[in-house]
Structure 1
Amino acid sequence: MDAVTAPVPGLERALDVEARLGPIEDHGMTRAGHRRVVPIVGGHVRGLFDAEILHGGADWQLVRPDGAVEIDTRYSARTAGGEHVFIRTFGVRSGPPGVLAALGRGEPVDPSEYYFRIGLHLETSAPRLAGLERSIFVASAVREADLVRYTAYRVT
């Protein structure tokens, strides 16, 4: 019997996201590692659906000994029609120590100087957006002083 070859995944542009951030809350060393919480205080989503990001989410970061940051966000967005989408991202931001330190100080850094990649999990009760729950999304992100921007792609 011949082996069946799985299709090669592609990427389809899906969402442009801009999440505004509040001040970092440094929780210090915990049993899990150096914990930081970064509030998500607003922003917007454009693309497969358009929505405003609601205040109240956060990124529960762990800073690794090598300086890389494990990303773990949870936040909500609401469309103009009142539909909610829960967004969870997971990933890593890493790079040379000087670059990571500059990002930490809120200085502008060329995104090509660091690695910032995330996966997205989307959840909604809105029937017209149900297809979001049946796909995998990935993104390359940019960290600025008070916001994170990314374009998410649906893996085909």
Structure 2
Amino acid sequence: MTSDNHGPSAPTLEFVTCIHVDVAAPLELGKDRLGRRRFIPITGGHFSGPGLNGRVLAGGGDWQTLRPDGVAELEARYFLQTDAGELIEVTNTGYRHAPKDVMARLVNGEVVPAEAYYFQTTPRLHTASDDLGWLNRTIFIGAAQRLPDDVIINLFAVTGAS
């Protein structure tokens, strides 16, 4: 094995778009062995930024498990439609956690400053559009914020090392 003085290079992030996902009241399944299970319907929304613009289509949803350790596991599935009419399927998984009192406020629908809690996601985007084919081969990170009636996700593409 050869030794070199070059350590790993960190990837960089490039801002793509800001997604505003409108949501309805949660449907509570109740507690099971994994935690408190709930579903939040997605009713629409919009997105805009230097890389993508358009609207969030109604009909998707966010399946959540609020674990006993205070972590919310999230898995949302929905469609975006660009201003040009191209469809993008989104599967977005992530974690939201904070001190117990902050999590209780979020779950109760209160407005809490984004810096008071951790809410990061790893969206996967898929499209049949040739023009947007780069979405099918790019890793994305989402920095999110929960508001009473919507979720804001700042979407970043992971690019090569700096």
Answer yes or no: same fold by TM over 0.5. Answer: yes
Select 1:139's aligned residue among 138, 142, 145: 142
Counterpart position of 1:62: 65
The alpha carbon displacement at 1:7 in A equals 3.7
**Matching residue within 71, 83, 87 for 2:86:** 83
* Range with bigger deviation, 104-113 or 5-14: 5-14
- Identity between Structure 1 and Structure 2 (%): 35
Matched position secondary structure for 1:56: coil
Partner of 2:113: 110
TM-score by length of 2: 0.90
SS in 2 for 1:112: helix
Matched, 1:52 2:55: yes
Range with greater deviation from structure 2 (107-116 or 119-128) = 107-116
Paired residue type of 2:40: V
**AA of the residue aligned to 1:11:** L
Cα pair 2:34 2:67 within 8 Å, conserved: no
TM-score after normalising by structure 1: 0.93
Q: What is the match of residue 154 of structure 1?
A: 157
Q: 3-state SS of the aligned residue for 2:132?
A: helix
Q: Which amino acid aligns with 2:59?
A: G
- Pick the aligned partner of 2:127 from 124, 134, 137: 124
Corresponding residue to 1:97 among 100, 106, 114: 100
3-state DSSP of counterpart to 1:59? strand
Structure 1 range deviating more: 127-136 or 3-12:
3-12
RMSD: 1.5
SS in 2 for 1:109: coil
Please state how far the C-alpha of 1:144 moved relative to its aligned partner. 0.4
Q: Extract structure 1 runs of 4+ deviating beyond 3 A.
A: 1-7, 30-33
Which residue in the other structure is 1:19 paired with?
A: 21
How far residue 29 of structure 1 moved from its aligned partner, in angstroms, is 2.1
Aligned to 1:28: 30
Say which SS state the counterpart of residue 131 (structure 2) adopts. helix
Deviations for 1:93-141, whole angstroms, at most 9, x for unmatched residues? Answer: 0001111111112111111111111111000001100001111110211
Find the aligned partners of 2:107 and 2:70 in 1 and give their Cα distance: 10
Q: How many Å separate the matches in 1 of 2:97 and 2:146?
A: 11
What is the aligned length?
Answer: 156
Look up the SS of the partner of 1:127 in the other structure: coil
Task: List gaps (5 residues or longer) in structure 1.
Answer: none
Where in structure 2 are there 5+ consecutive unaligned residues?
none
